[in-house]
Amino acid sequence: MEGVRIDKWLWAARFFKTRSQAAGACELGRIECRGTPVKASREVKPGDMLLIRNGGGDFHVEVLGLSLMRGPAAVAQTLYRETDESKAMRLKRAEERKLMAPFEISWEDGRPSKKDRRDIDKLRGRRF
């Protein structure tokens, strides 16, 4: 096997739960190979360096293996190697998220009043 579509590889390597999510990420420019956004149909080969942006953070990975099938997580982790800088940055951001205070609004009766909703909409720029 010489190359695999990048959306299939991202799915097999368990960066996305579905192949359509992987293709959508490619379409939105969240997947880059050598600094350029890639389409879902681009073939990925061993040795390629990828930047993958998803809900878990930014991953800088080197492709080590190819697979067309989604297997166990232990097998999926053998398909790539994440750079040390990427790991450190993701851990740092995770720690920062833990330290941030959660944003909560509490109303006395459990839900916003009509005036509260208007104020929220005005704040979000929905109504004038």
What pLDDT does residue 45 have? Answer: 93
Rounded Cα–Cα distance for residues 45 and 110 (Å): 54
Report the 10 Å Cβ neighbour count for 52. Answer: 24
Is the pTM here over 0.85, yes or no? Answer: no
Distance (Å) of CA 69 to CA 10, 14, 73, 97: 11, 11, 12, 34
Could you tell me which residues come within 8 angstroms of residue 42 by beta carbon, excluding any fewer than 6 positions away? 5, 6, 26, 33
What pLDDT does residue 122 have? Answer: 87
pLDDT tens-digit readout, 79-121: 999 999 999 998 998 888 888 877 776 666 778 888 888 888 8
* pLDDT > 90: percent of the chain: 62
Q: Choose among 4, 54, 51: nearest CA to 25.
A: 54
Q: Choose among 51, 55, 100: nearest CA to 80.
A: 51
Structural domains of the chain ordered from first start: 4-86 (3.10.290.10)
Distance of CA 81 to the CA centre of its chain: 16
